[in-house]
Amino acid sequence: MSLLVKNGRIITAVDDYRADIFVERDTITLIGQQLKMEADQVVDAQERYVFPGGVDPHTHMDMPFGGTVTADNFETGTRAAAHGGTTTLIDFAIQTKGHSALEGLETWHKKAAGNTAIDYGFHMIITDIEDGRLDDLRTLADEGITSFKLFTAYPGVLYVDDGTIYRVMRRAGEDGTLICMHAENGIVIDEIVKQALQEGRTAPKWHALSRPTLMEAEAVQRVTAIAQQAEAPVYIVHLSSADALEQLVIARNRGVRAFAETCPQYLFLDHSHYEQDGFEGAKYVMSPPIREQWNQEVLWRGLQSGDLQAVATDHCSFRFKDQKTLGKDDFTKIPNGGPGVENRLAMVYTGGVGQGRISLNKFVELISTAAAKLFGLFPKKGTIALGSDADLVIFNPRRKETISVDNPVTHHMNVDYSAYEGFAVEGFPETVISRGKIIVKDCEYVGQKGDGQFLKRGYFSGLD
Ligand code: URP
Ligand code: ZN
Ligand code: ZN
């Protein structure tokens, strides 16, 4: 099979030029002006940008959490991702307490294999690990699981203590893998939560009020210090606030190899969503919570300046009608997480490029290239170059859409609300190609379940 993408304006993290792209099977084999090749399929990208497929390094599909299981599984979640221009995602497999991480990996392989629309890899969440099992981390790395997530939040569930963080980071430093940290001080937060409940404060907004930015900043300070001591790189996931960003920058200035992502919910939503009438605020119950609006501009500046490296979604969808309502009378029982896997490119393009905050090249770096580099996928993923996988997004910078659960162009996630209901975007992915196969054509899904393949990722080699 061959494919020719003609007349597009090709944008990578460093390039911006007009050319045609020739694809044989799943790989880009030629890029040039007015190519005259015969191809089985031709896509006309006139007046469109051609971006490398989005890489979303933070999703949760088919994940048991908060007394239920995420609404999106690997089939529905990856199909929605494809609609949004994401062609690779890295999901979180879980090692459960008392079981080996290798068992966790097997479980997640079973959930995903044959079900995905796009390529995928896994990070592994470590919840406990004895010294005798630290070698499992190397075994996992050899299986392509070259990053691990640890939590300073959710005591009794996913939380690990500082000693465990240090031991795992030391091993990661030796092995050449990357530790992802959920940075919130869960121990103090649980005390604040207890106090709130004792005072009868049970509404969704108390979720946010019991997780102050100071407790995120404290955890960023602590885990970056532990990473420095362990001589390991660290990647902060879903960084949400100016206070946390300040600590990240301080650590990096001290020489820590500290990286971080933020997410669209922290760039576009604010605390007022929790103050809505009734139970509406539950839609935005996630950890960290969304913050006071002024944080948004600080995060955008962090993206512009390179203090923040990537925009991921932390897609973790729960239906409003029967899952979020588990916490109707007690905010601590609302499953944490929100949907967004298909909204990332259009939102970041609109708020970033459209509002003049970031360049086109920076946009590509944030939604694709940086994550591909940090997580051992570059240059197979994350760019448009000879030999790279033909993961391409044909993006119409003039197409306007209003994001809504009722808009069949913007909503394919298996969830009954949109976190960005009513947001107007200008710039939208229309055609999406995954390893040379058109999977979304003019906003219609034309792929098949099982098109996606597991990605064995390489070891950590930094961003350069
Ligand atoms: O609330 C969130 N973020 N849910 C997903 C789990 C996590 O901490 O990333
Ligand atoms: Zn997290
Ligand atoms: Zn997450």
pLDDT along the chain (464 residues), means of 10: 98 98 98 97 98 99 97 99 99 95 97 98 96 94 98 97 98 98 98 98 98 98 98 98 99 98 99 96 98 98 98 99 98 98 99 98 99 98 99 99 98 98 98 99 98 98 93
Q: Quick one: which atom of ligand 1 is closest to the CA of 285? A: 1
Give dist(CA 464, CA 457) in Å, integer.
17
pLDDT tens figures, 25-69: 999 999 999 999 999 999 999 999 999 999 999 999 999 999 999
Query: In this structure, what token pair is assigned to residue 451?
Result: 């098109």
With b for 16 or more beta-carbon neighbours within 10 A and e for fewer, the 180-193 pattern comes to bbbbbbbebbbebb
Give dist(CA 22, CA 275) in Å, integer.
52
In what helix (H) or strand (E) does residue 431 lie, and over which residues does it extend?
strand 424-434
Which residue has the least CA distance to atom 2 on ligand 1? 337
Which residue has the least CA distance to atom 6 on ligand 1? 337
With a 6 A CB cut-off, is 314 part of the ligand 1 pocket? yes
Which residue has the least CA distance to atom 9 on ligand 1? 314
pLDDT for 132: 87
Overall pTM > 0.85: yes
Q: Would you say 423 and 88 are in contact if contact means Cβ atoms under 8 Å apart?
A: no
Question: What spacing in Å lies between the alpha carbon of 288 and ligand 3's midpoint?
Answer: 10
Q: Would you say 361 and 14 are in contact if contact means Cβ atoms under 8 Å apart?
A: yes
pLDDT for 106: 98
Give dist(CA 202, CA 195) in Å, integer.
11
Give dist(CA 293, CA 268) in Å, integer.
8
With a 6 A CB cut-off, is 316 part of the ligand 1 pocket? yes
Q: Quick one: which atom of ligand 1 is closest to the CA of 158? A: 8
Is the bond preceding residue 379 a cis peptide, omega within 30 degrees?
Answer: yes
Which residue has the least CA distance to atom 8 on ligand 1? 287
With a 6 A CB cut-off, is 60 part of the ligand 1 pocket? yes
With a 6 A CB cut-off, is 286 part of the ligand 1 pocket? yes
With a 6 A CB cut-off, is 336 part of the ligand 1 pocket? yes
With a 6 A CB cut-off, is 287 part of the ligand 1 pocket? yes
Residue 337 has phi, psi (to 5 degrees) of 140, 160
Partners of 52 in the β-ladder: 392
Query: In this structure, what token pair is assigned to residue 51?
Result: 């971006």
Question: What spacing in Å lies between the alpha carbon of 234 and ligand 2's midpoint?
Answer: 14
Strands 41-44 and 310-311: unpaired
Residue 279's Cα: distance from chain center in Å? 26
Question: What spacing in Å lies between the alpha carbon of 60 and ligand 3's midpoint?
Answer: 6
Closest ligand to residue 313's CA: 3
Q: Would you say 420 and 345 are in contact if contact means Cβ atoms under 8 Å apart?
A: no
pLDDT tens figures, 111-170: 999 999 999 999 999 999 988 899 999 999 999 999 999 999 999 999 999 999 999 999
Give dist(CA 370, CA 12) in Å, integer.
11
With a 6 A CB cut-off, is 337 part of the ligand 1 pocket? yes
Q: Would you say 253 and 259 are in contact if contact means Cβ atoms under 8 Å apart?
A: no
Give dist(CA 254, CA 440) in Å, integer.
45
Quick one: CA torsion of 271, 275, 276, 281, rounded to 10 degrees? 70
pLDDT for 131: 86
Q: Would you say 420 and 343 are in contact if contact means Cβ atoms under 8 Å apart?
A: yes
- From 262, 284, 415, 432, select the one nearest 347 (Cα to Cα): 262
Which amino acid would we find at residue 115? Answer: N
Which residue has the least CA distance to atom 5 on ligand 1? 337
185, 316, 333, best to mutate for ligand 1 pocket (most atoms within 8 Å of CB): 316
- From 288, 268, 315, 109, select the one nearest 211 (Cα to Cα): 288
Partners of 124 in the β-ladder: 93, 148
Beta strand segments in 142-254, E: 147-151, 178-182, 234-236
Domains plus CATH for the chain?
53-374 (3.20.20.140)
Closest ligand to residue 63's CA: 1
Question: What spacing in Å lies between the alpha carbon of 445 and ligand 2's midpoint?
Answer: 30
Give dist(CA 458, CA 240) in Å, integer.
28
With a 6 A CB cut-off, is 72 part of the ligand 1 pocket? no
Q: Would you say 251 and 228 are in contact if contact means Cβ atoms under 8 Å apart?
A: yes
